[in-house]
Amino acid sequence: MPETITATREITLGEAVREALAEEMRRDSRVFVMGEDVAQAGTAFKVLSGMVDEFGSDRVLDTPISEAGFTGIAVGAAMTGMRPVVDIMFGDFVGLTMDQMVNQAAKVHYMSGGKWKVPMVMRATLGATRRSAAQHSQSLHAWFCHIPGLKVVLPSTPYDAKGLLKSAIRDENPVVFYEDKMMFRFKGPVPAEEYTIPLGVADIKREGSDITIVATSSMVHVALSAAKLLEEEDISAEVIDPRTLWPLDEKTLIDSAKKTSRVIVMDEGYGRYGAAAEIAAVIAEGAFFDLEAPVKRLCAMHVPIPFSPPLEDATVPTEKTVFEAARALLGGK
Amino acid sequence: MTTAIHPTKTESALEAERCLRMYRRMLMIRLFEENVNDLYTRALMPGLAHLYIGEEAIAVGVCEALTQDDYITSTHRGHGHCVAKGAALDRMFAELLGKEAGYCKGKGGSMHIADPDTGNLGANAIVGGSAGIATGAAFAAKRLGNGRVCVCFFGEGALGQGVLYEVMNMAALWKLPVIYLCENNMYNEYTHYSETTAGDILTRAAGFGLPGEAIDGQDVRAVYAAAKKFIDRARAGEGPAFLLANTYRFFGHHVGDVSRDYYRAKQEEQTWKSQRDPIQLFSTYLVAQNLADQARFDEIYAEVKAEVDRAVQFAVAAPYPSADKVDQDVYA
């Protein structure tokens, strides 16, 4: 069953992120935010606007443009009693932080035989079609999914963003939290009351019986639009959002695949060696004898993201490509 | 050996105690590393072994100026830092041999020993890899107001890593209680540092407004005095500092690095070993000051050797972890 949200108000995804951070900072004095232009500017995307007024510039801390340096500082601060949330603005900049995340944050707990912990969150963005070209448009979350010791979260709704970010901040491990930069103004119901969503639980966004579409982040909404088009053709599509790529709720994915016997996996990261490839493999291993067709991946085209709008638009899956892929999997039903 | 400091003791009595404590600790590192060399060459130790022999005065002089709660980060050449900060030798050897009783249950090994009980945030096998962690620990200490200081040990090879300068900049901006302690043993692995390091090292730190000085890394008293001054300053809230300890790696980059003629002359090694051995220099000082004599040195040697031997026996006899532990501790 899709998670039932009883809320009388709607807020944007950006507001949901801000609420989650503010609530956790009120709840726990060890939580603080650091990054470039997070304080008075409230980040380049204005997601944190006003937070510095409540929490002060010590807890909403502007840093130099030194992603590796301040991520490393977050790792050390997390080990020694703080709970940092670092802001990476454009997700493309995670390349600068990789040693800190991959060789330090991810491994400290294991290498120390479980003695040191790194309870930190890295917030980063993903998503193309903002006309920002090749170094400001990538969806690189699969890099972190590849590394044991890290958790990776990709919310698709304001409700999920708030509940998952609160859990990420309370988690004892390094968590990378990806927000689609095109969705900060996307509205959805969010209860005013306190709630959290556990990491590792997928959400069935739409129930269906003929085909399963597994989708992440903004691709969930492309999948839901495609499901409406398919419905007009008498095709019943189930849309599942894993919400966290690690831990991954394999059971929900496999159960749905067994039920519908046809699966499309959508992700805005690159398809080759990507998150969708892993999910497709999980489903193939877990539901092979119930499948009527090979699992189909729909991902970012394997090119650097171009600037020119018609070129950039061609790199991302659309409801039309999903619709056509679904019809093909169903043998033209 | 006693570490209790009696309030009525005179300054000179305290100084004498400190000197003998530092002597013993330096000797402990030396004997520890000689045993590492032995275990490695007898094929009892897997992996890599980077010996700290020749550099003992730095770890000991610096850690003498720290409290148990203060933090350190260490390097691939880190056994000396661990011992100086107070780690137990038996659990260190056990870790080096990959045994369950080791500090990291055998999961870290020689290059990753960590010990929260002595404030050791961990050795790091990425050159410069702990600069962020050390600065972050100082950041937390300042935020939490717990009065702790962090010393970031790194070799001169880490001067080539950009992240070091990023975090020094932030440490200076935010007045963090961190000491960047550069151990210049003159060789970036197999390359003389003059081939990799432009300009003046201390000037780099001064560019960020970090005070600092160059110290004779073979003179434990000089190391202690400089470290104490800047650690006290950091603890008082006056911010970070940079110390450059000039020293020499008596052996190769690692135990297997035995043919070193192509990158440094045997004569150079001989000169350092015969004239600049930190333990020899300190024992000469102690005798000249009437703080110890040969009988006292023999006594200390026997005690330390017995402790090291017991630790080696413990580690050799200790069981390996069972293979089913392999996927534990990935997540907290």
pLDDT digits (tens, 9 = 90+) for A200-240: 999 999 999 999 999 999 999 999 999 999 999 999 999 99
In a domain, B256, yes or no: no
In chain B, how many domains are there?
1
Q: Tell me how far apart the terminal alpha carbons of chain B are, to the nearest angstrom.
A: 38
Domains of chain A and CATH, by start: 11-189 (3.40.50.970), 203-329 (3.40.50.920)
Asked whether the beta carbons of A44 and A9 are under 8 A apart, the reply is no
In a domain, B146, yes or no: yes
Residues of A in contact with B149 (CB under 8 A): none
What CA–CA distance (Å, rounded) separates A222 from A225? Answer: 5
Average pLDDT score over chain A = 97
Mean pLDDT of B237-247: 98
Residues of A in contact with B107 (CB under 8 A): 110-113
Asked whether the beta carbons of B150 and B138 are under 8 A apart, the reply is yes
3-state helix, strand, coil in chain A (%, to 5): 40, 20, 40
Classify A70 as helix, strand or coil: helix
Nearest CB among A64, A104, A108 relative to B170 is that of: A64
In a domain, B1, yes or no: no
Residue A136 known to be catalytic: yes
Each residue's pLDDT tens digit, A283-324: 999 999 999 999 999 999 999 999 999 999 999 999 999 999
Q: CATH code at B314?
A: 3.40.50.970
Residues of A in contact with B112 (CB under 8 A): 111-112
Nearest CB among B71, B146, B163 relative to A68 is that of: B163
Nearest CB among B108, B131, B138 relative to A113 is that of: B108
**pLDDT over 90 (residue B285):** yes
Q: Which of residues 82-141 of A touch B (CB under 8 A)?
A: 82, 84, 99-100, 103-104, 108-119
What CA–CA distance (Å, rounded) separates B152 from B65? Answer: 14
Token pair in block for residue A184: 């900060």
pLDDT at B4: 57
Q: Choose the mutation target among B118, B139, B173, B320 for the interface with A, i.e. most A CBs under 10 Å.
A: B139
* Contact (CB<8Å) A113/B122: no
pLDDT at B3: 54
* Contact (CB<8Å) B166/A117: no
Q: Is A40 on the interface with B (CB under 8 A)?
A: no
**pLDDT over 60 (residue B15):** yes
Domain span holding position B121: 11-250+262-319
Distance from CA of B167 to the nearest CA of A (A): 5
What CA–CA distance (Å, rounded) separates A211 from A233? Answer: 13
Q: Tell me the ipTM for this assembly.
A: 0.95
Phi, psi angle pair for A240, to nearest 5°:
-120, 130
In a domain, B304, yes or no: yes
Q: Give B153's strand partners.
A: B181
Residues of B in contact with A111 (CB under 8 A): 104, 107-108, 112, 114, 122
pLDDT at B1: 47
* Contact (CB<8Å) B137/A80: yes
In a domain, B202, yes or no: yes
pLDDT at A155: 98
In a domain, B98, yes or no: yes
In a domain, B330, yes or no: no
pLDDT at B314: 98
**pLDDT over 90 (residue B9):** no
